[in-house]
Structure 1
Amino acid sequence: MTTVGHGFLGALSTGHRERLLSFARPRSFPVGTRIFDEDDPADRFWLLRRGHVALDVHDPGRGTVVVETLGEGELLGWSWLFEPYRWHLGATARDLVEAYEFEAQQVRAAIEEDPAFGLAVTHCVASVAIGRRLRACRIRLLDLYRPPGGGAAPRGGETS
């Protein structure tokens, strides 16, 4: 089970963490469950307590490509917080996943009602989840475009 001292929950103050958890309900996903698909409505999100979730994107030339794997203590889904509230990626349970599930509309209403809570949650989503995903995406892109043999990828504007 997730301890509150790390991951997304650990980035919130005790009061904000308790307020957010007041909206939670336990949820589990068996191995192989498709949790959401790219461009579906983002109407909920999860804090992972156990297990792993693969985030993926559909590439017409390659099919489904995993871009990152999330685990205990991590936030699954941030598209619920920003319009147009649609998923940018897909997600599949890699093994048995236990999570806290949150209804996005309920949490967005609490964010509107309490600006300090809203700022704390938005800051955590931006710094912990989005920032981490962008770094992981950058590393993945560098791996994808690295020339065979492990040499450095060419930089824009350079010629051979």
Structure 2
Amino acid sequence: MVTDFDLLAAHPFLTGVQPRFVERLARCARRATARAGEHLIIEGEAADTCYLLREGSAELTARVAGRGAVVVDVIGRGQVLGWSWLFPPRRWHFSAVAVEPVLAIALDGPRVRGLCDTEPAFGYDLTNRFLAVMLQRMQVTRMRLLSQDIAPSGSGAGSP
């Protein structure tokens, strides 16, 4: 039988993490599933979980006035969903809806933060891993914005 430790150890996000820390993370983990169309996270609600996707994919959406939910990105197998649990105010800034059935490892945010507090070297490593994911997502978003025909700020009518 495949254990939570096995699933965590095999996830690309945790490549290179010391087995003793993966073991401790496994104590903060549970398997999570979502059917197509089901929400994994909802914008504005309390953020207390991180999802390491093993199978399936989810659309990351944001509410935009006058447009409703706009797809920001698609998170798939081997990727991480959710880092809002790390930083106050610990509320989701986006929603995520399964596009196809999802199997994920759900990490309990408060317990992981506690582990990071008691094991600062691990906390530093984990935080750097999340920052790398955030940077990559920001770069993807930046490239999407640059590829759109957007007028530069201040170039509207009446600008000098």
| TM-score higher than 0.5 | yes
Residue 52 (structure 1) aligned to one of 38, 53, 57:
57
Q: 1:83 to 1:16 in 2, by over 3 A?
A: same
Counterpart CA distance in 1 for 2:43 and 2:35 is 20
Q: Deviations over 1:88-108 (max 9, x none)?
A: 111100100000011111111
Single out whichever of 1-10 and 50-59 deviates more from structure 2: 1-10
Q: 1:139 to 1:41 in 2, by over 3 A?
A: same
Single out whichever of 18-27 and 90-99 deviates more from structure 2: 18-27
Counterpart CA distance in 1 for 2:111 and 2:9 is 22
Q: 1:58 to 1:72 in 2, by over 3 A?
A: same
Residue 80 (structure 1) aligned to one of 81, 85, 90:
85
Identity %: 35
Q: CA RMSD in A?
A: 2.3
User: Counterpart in 1 of 2:140?
Assistant: 136
Contact 2:8 2:22 (8 Å CA) reproduced: no
Q: Which runs of 5+ in 1 are unaligned?
A: 148-152
AA matched with 2:144: R
Q: 1:73 to 1:11 in 2, by over 3 A?
A: farther
Contact 2:60 2:71 (8 Å CA) reproduced: yes
Q: Give 1:16 deviation, angstroms.
A: 3.2
User: Counterpart in 1 of 2:129?
Assistant: 124
Contact 2:56 2:77 (8 Å CA) reproduced: yes
Counterpart CA distance in 2 for 1:157 and 1:59 is 22
Q: Give 1:157 deviation, angstroms.
A: 6.2
Q: Which runs of 5+ in 2 are unaligned?
A: none
